[in-house]
Amino acid sequence: MSFIKLALFQVRLYIKNTYFVNLVIIETTTMLLYEYLAHYVLQTYDGKEWLIAGVMGTWASCTTSAGALGFQRFQGTLPYLLNTGVAREKVLLATLIPASVYGLIAFPLAGLEAWLLKMPVNYLDFQLLVGIILLWIAAAVLSYFISLFFVLSKNAIVYEQLLLLPILLLSGLLSIPDAIRISIKPFQMLSPLTLPIRIIYHESIQWNWIMSYILVVVVFGVLSKLMTNIVIKRAFKEGRLSIF
């Protein structure tokens, strides 16, 4: 119960920050407009355009995990949050969860905008729900793992955009050219975002994708738990949790 209260408190803080709130809206809308203009002349919409925008907005929100830690550092509360009787894994998870939770509004936002632009809104079924849930789990685990490295940096928010597009593009956000499809498949197998994106797009799924997803999520989760205390202790020792 204490974890839920802490997470809800962090959610309220998160949505009060206009940067975090506007980022999801801007990234989702920008991607949808890109898809709208790309297919406008020939009217070759296939109903997946809003899903692409939804994935983009959700992951964009998750990448703000670095910024969320930077915001806590700026407020001067990060050292106190990590130096309480609550397990540090729970504190960090509660601090970072709002990014992935808030990011889920990208899908209804993209659907609404697609409807307003008279674009088809297809694939509204149970498979889509499963894909979104798996995407949220993968994004939350991956953003937690990545954020551990940013605990040691006072400029974490600057690096957010370096994570946004490369990981998504290599995970299959947009169509991958046949010339490089085989070359990047090993990376796709190591990315926990690949399977959820394929499910959301209603593409064919093989058992190796499912097993890879489970294995990678578990590995990232275990590594995150093992690394948390190591990283936090180093940050305290080197004085990297203060503003200056």
- Give pLDDT tens digits for 21-31: 898 999 999 99
Would 62 be classed as within a structural domain? yes
Residue 69, pLDDT > 80, answer no
- Whole-angstrom distance, CA of residue 39 vs CA of residue 28: 17
Residue 244 included in any domain: no
Sign of torsion over alpha carbons 115, 21, 139, 30: positive
**242 lies in some domain:** no
When divided into structural domains, the chain yields a total of: 1
Q: Predicted confidence band at 138 (pLDDT cuts at 50, 70, 90)?
A: very high
Residue 209 belongs to some domain of the structure: yes
Prediction pTM value: 0.88
Confirm if 143 and 53 have CB atoms less than 8 A apart: no
How far apart are alpha carbons 70 and 106 in whole angstroms? 23
Q: What residue numbers bound the domain in which 139 lies?
A: 2-237
Calculate mean pLDDT across residues 154-168: 68
